[in-house]
Amino acid sequence: MIFERLFTSSPDDEQLWAELNEKDIAFTKEIFEAYLQNKEQIEKKIETLLVGYSLDRVHKIDLALLCEAITEIDYLSIPAPVVINETVELAKIYSTTESPKFLNGVLASALKGGKDES
C-alpha cells in the first residue's frame, strides 16, 4: 500500500485489503496508519540518509521498502535487525540486484544516526 501511495493519492485500497488474510490485516493497518500519519517525517529522514541521491532518484520499490522500514523502526518499535533483514529479503525478491546492499547501507546509516560516508 505504501508502494501504491508513491504513485497515486486516490488508490484502490479495498482491493488490497481484500487480498490480505485476517491474521495480517491488523499488523498491516498498524504499519500503514503509522506511515500515513508520519509520511513527511519519514521521507525527510530518508532524504537525509541518502548519499548522492534524492528521493526521486530512488527506485520506487526501494523507496517503499525504506518507508516501511523506517515506519516499523521509528514508530512501531520493531527491532531494527529484524526490520533490516526483512527489508533486504524483500528487496532480493522484488527489486534490483543492487537494492539489498543499498537498502542495508541506508538503514544501517539510520541506526548510526546519520549519513554513512564510507
Cell of 45: 529522514
What pLDDT shows up at residue 20? 81
- The single-letter code of the amino acid at 87 is T
- pTM for the whole structure: 0.86
What pLDDT shows up at residue 47? 93
What pLDDT shows up at residue 99? 96
What pLDDT shows up at residue 19? 78
Cell of 112: 548510526
What pLDDT shows up at residue 11? 63
Low-confidence stretches of the chain (pLDDT < 70) are 9-13, 114-118
3-state secondary structure 18-36: HCCCHHHHHHHHHHHHHHH
Strands (E), 5-103: none
Domains with residue ranges and CATH for the chain: 2-112 (1.10.940.10)
Contact 72, 78 (CB under 8 A): yes
Helix, coil or strand: residue 9: coil
